[in-house]
A = this chain, B = another copy of it.
């Protein structure tokens, strides 16, 4: 009892024109008289016609959809980025599909193959996770070979796709230097990760700042990490250190979740923030201003990288020149947790 879907032919018949003309109207071709266009649109409206995108994608060899793949949609910064990207992409007449990589190489590979099979018009990949595993790098090369690709967050060695990224090393160096200038005591750095490229970069930046203060280097400490950079892990690290937290003047965390978890652990043993310990996170997630104490963080402008990334992407789509590697500055937001 399935009614046949109304197709372009039905519109053509009802409007008394050819399917070619209907197609031209739907695709905003300028070579259609206003009168014809109007007549066709009336029928489209009346029959509630929804063109089959698989047919147009097949015919064109390319869809009008752009993929947005992010490391994890449970991290608010990526959600902000997705929304900034979507706003601009739809304003350019494309639609979007969102891929949540769940911080997993396998999921990334799966999604990249899907993107190729969908013949997407382009792909924006945003992640701080390492992309140099063989499988992952291969998947990206495959994508780049068949659709325009832009990576936000890092530049991999041998990448032949444009990148937009923050100055994480420099921002981290500055942030750590500010912590040290506020409390001239040893620094705790949480945490260097085996799976996160950005975490490694941020730790290097903090260590570079420490390098300027030889007297503090001995007492300072870097925690290494295996698991995810989550609230739980930050809490576990803080609890594990316990009273030893008092040996440090400040904690530099490579993300906000770790900072927040650690702050909770500190409060449980009555270590006061910022009185006994300064705490700085990274990412500036929305909840930070509403915590007690409110948490300081290094922030990065999602709108800005979205704009620059799409500028490169649409240039590629239109076969025009684009910037290979754009670097955007981060800024440090001081709140209660780092107040002097």
- Could you list which residues of chain A lie within 8 angstroms of chain B, going by C-beta atoms? 5, 48, 50-55, 57-58, 63, 73-74, 76, 79, 82-83, 86, 90, 95, 97-100, 102, 110, 113-114, 116-119, 142, 146, 230-231, 234-235, 260-261, 263-264, 267, 286-287, 289-292, 294
**A5-B146, A55-B58 in contact; A260/B290 too (CB < 8 A)?**
yes
Smallest CB–CB gap between A220 and chain B, Å?
25
Contact present for A119 and B260 (CB under 8 Å): no
Distance in angstroms between the alpha carbons of A150 and B51 in the assembled complex: 23
Choice from B58, B114, B116 contacting A58 with Cβ under 8 Å: B58
Q: Which residues of B contact A5 (CB under 8 A)?
A: 146
Q: Which residues of B contact A48 (CB under 8 A)?
A: 142
Contact present for B117 and A51 (CB under 8 Å): yes
Residue of B nearest to A70 (CB): B73
How many copies the complex holds: the figure is 2
Q: Which residues of B contact A53 (CB under 8 A)?
A: 54, 117-119
Interface residues of chain A: helix, strand, loop or mixed (majority): helix
Contact present for B95 and A98 (CB under 8 Å): no
Smallest CB–CB gap between A119 and chain B, Å?
6
Count chain B CB atoms within 10 A of each CB in A50, A79, A113, A260 and give the residue with the most: A50
Residue of B nearest to A59 (CB): B54
Contact present for A114 and B102 (CB under 8 Å): no
**A82-B100, A98-B97, A146-B5 in contact; A290/B235 too (CB < 8 A)?**
yes
Distance in angstroms between the alpha carbons of A120 and B309 in the assembled complex: 29
Q: Which residues of B contact A117 (CB under 8 A)?
A: 50-53
Smallest CB–CB gap between A1 and chain B, Å?
12
List 11 A-B pairs, Cβ < 8 Å. Answer: A5-B146, A50-B117, A51-B117, A53-B119, A54-B57, A54-B58, A73-B73, A79-B100, A83-B100, A97-B97, A264-B290
Q: Which residues of B contact A263 (CB under 8 A)?
A: 290, 292
Choice from B54, B73, B113, B119 contacting A82 with Cβ under 8 Å: B73
Q: Which residues of B contact A234 (CB under 8 A)?
A: 290
* A-B CB proximity, top 5 nearest: A54-B57, A264-B290, A54-B58, A54-B54, A98-B98
Q: Which residues of B contact A231 (CB under 8 A)?
A: 286-287, 289-290
Q: Which residues of B contact A55 (CB under 8 A)?
A: 54, 58
Choice from B57, B118, B260, B292 contacting A264 with Cβ under 8 Å: B292
Residue of B nearest to A261 (CB): B290
Distance in angstroms between the alpha carbons of A63 and B54 in the assembled complex: 9
Distance in angstroms between the alpha carbons of A113 and B52 in the assembled complex: 11
